[in-house]
Structure 1
Amino acid sequence: MSAKPINPILKQVLELGPTLAFFLLYIKIKDNTYTIAGTDYSGFIVAAVVFIPVLLAAMAVLWFLTKKLSRMQVFTAIMVIFFGGLTAWFNDEAFFKMKTSIVYGLFSLLLGIGLLRGQSWLEYVMGEFLPMQREGWMILTRRLTVFFAGLAAANEFIWRTQSEELWVTLETFAFPVVLFLFLWSQIVTLQRFLIEEPK
């Protein structure tokens, strides 16, 4: 089923809004402690748990409007639910912080497995959005494999050595911007492999 057209601004709000909402809620309650059923929870853990239904609601609206969700969106949602649940169950924020490392690490691992098989699994996920020759997909896949591994390592270093507030800020703004700029630069450098649709 092909996706229905949607206002691009609304699409960005639905995709990026939950993360921004998490950041704003965290900033507001980061210094608070909440006692729920006799257990004390930090503001970070409360914000992380609230993030789950907000993300699912945004995805539900996006699906309702477009009748389609990307595999990456579904995978990310599963990881957020899983690690958010572990964070709440064990009352340990490390699970939520590790989520980013594991997501990027799994992306790198999966793309690497595809490369070892002589395939670009990235093309399987994004091919319909970005028509490109196979050679271009293989180059992009190799670069993204290394890049995702680097992001996973960077996240591990940051959350283990830096302040919680710095990690939340980088998670919300820096990582997405760096990923966007990297992908944009790759599209520019790999333009010669792009397949132009017939007019």
Structure 2
Amino acid sequence: MATTERAMPKGLKPATELGPILVFFAAYYFGDLFVATGAIMITTLIALAVSYYYTRSLPMMPLVTAVVVMVFGGLTLYLNDETFIKMKPTIIYAIFSIILFAGLILGKSFVKVLFDNFWDLDDDGWKKLTIRLAAFFLLMAVANEIIWRSFSTELWVNIKVFGFTAATFLFFVAQVPMITRHMNQDKPDTDA
């Protein structure tokens, strides 16, 4: 029997993407970093399962994130050392940056693969977006390292949840003019 993709209810996709980080934040404030670590591990697996239930595939970025969450979260809990969960964003951002830069060296735009359903850009637009996103991820990795090593756990949690989320949103908003300039103008033929 062939498996088919199911229609995901409206609002569920953002919930699977933002839910784990919001649960992490709430668990930190009602418990501690170790409770939050366990909570994000569980909700990340639930989000992946829900996504798979509807799409019958596991998207690469959430899958890589889940693997890193499980490994570094597991080390945090097993060794009772919060260092590992604090390093998790650095590792994730660095992996994404390296993958994007490697793709450019190989002449491929992995950003195009991820966002082709959203935008129809020319090759130069995909290249620019890939370079910018790779540089952004690298900057976020460096920022995470500076913040968790220099400031309190509470400040790091707040910046991780709100600051990094806001930075990502602002990054994509800032890309709108470039994306607009590089949109392919060809309109598909539509038969009524």
Shorter-chain TM-score: what band? 0.7 to 0.9
Distance of 1:110 and 1:180 partners within structure 2? 21
Deviation of the 1:181 alpha carbon: 1.7
Partner of 2:178: 189
Q: Percent same amino acid at aligned positions? A: 39
RMSD value, Cα = 1.9
The reply to whether residue 25 of structure 1 matches residue 14 of structure 2 is: no
Q: TM-score, normalised by structure 1?
A: 0.85
Give 2:128's match in structure 1, choosing from 114, 139, 145.
139
Alignment check: 8 A CA contact 2:26 2:36 kept = no
Partner of 1:6: 8
Alignment check: 8 A CA contact 1:15 1:59 kept = no
Q: 1:3 to 1:69 in 2, by over 3 A?
A: farther
Q: How does 1:158-197 map to 2 (within 5 A)?
A: 158-195=147-184, 197=187
Partner of 2:49: 60
Shift >4 Å, 4+ stretches: none
Q: How does 1:64-143 map to 2 (within 5 A)?
A: 64-143=53-132
Deviations 1:33-78 (A, max 9, x none): xxxxxxxxxx212220232112211221232133343211111111
More strand by share: 1
Q: Please identify, of 176-185 and 126-135, the stretch whose mean Cα deviation from structure 2 is larger.
A: 126-135
Deviations 1:109-145 (A, max 9, x none): 1111122233322223332332211110001111112
Residue identity matched to 2:85? F
Q: Secondary structure of the equivalent of 1:8? A: coil
Q: Please identify, of 112-121 and 146-155, the stretch whose mean Cα deviation from structure 2 is larger.
A: 112-121
Q: Secondary structure of the equivalent of 1:189? A: helix
Distance of 1:14 and 1:121 partners within structure 2? 22
Distance of 2:104 and 2:126 partners within structure 1? 11
Distance of 2:5 and 2:179 partners within structure 1? 26
Partner of 1:37: none
Deviation of the 1:184 alpha carbon: 2.5
Residue identity matched to 1:116? I
Alignment check: 8 A CA contact 2:23 2:39 kept = no
Alignment check: 8 A CA contact 2:22 2:161 kept = yes
Q: Secondary structure of the equivalent of 2:58? A: coil
Alignment check: 8 A CA contact 2:8 2:54 kept = yes
